[in-house]
Chain A
Amino acid sequence: NAGVMQNPRHLVRRRGQEARLRCSPVKGHSHVYWYRQLPEEGLKFMVYLQKENIIDESGMPKERFSAEFPKEGPSILRIQQVVRGDSAAYFCASSKDRENEKLFFGSGTQLSVL
Chain B
Amino acid sequence: DQQVKQNSPSLSVQEGRISILNCDYTNSMFDYFLWYKKYPAEGPTFLISISSIKDKNEDGRFTVFLNKSAKHLSLHIVPSQPGDSAVYFCAASARSNYQLIWGAGTKLIIKP
Number of interface residues of B (CB under 8 A): 23
- The residue of chain B having its C-beta at the shortest distance from the C-beta of A95 within the complex is B98
Q: 1/0 contact trace for A46-65 toward B, CB 8 Å?
A: 00100000001011000000
Q: Which residues of A contact B93 (CB under 8 A)?
A: 100
- The residue of chain B having its C-beta at the shortest distance from the C-beta of A58 within the complex is B99
Q: How many A-B pairs with Cβ below 8 Å?
A: 59
Choose, from B13-21, B43-51, B67-75, the stretch at the interface.
B43-51
CB distance from B73 to the nearest CB of A (A): 15
Q: Are A59 and B104 in contact (CB under 8 A)?
A: no
Q: Which residues of B line the A interface, CB within 8 A? A: 4, 6, 9, 32, 34, 41-46, 49, 89, 91, 93, 98-105
Q: Which residues of A line the B interface, CB within 8 A? A: 4, 6, 9, 33, 35, 40-45, 48, 56, 58-59, 91, 93, 98, 100-103, 105-108
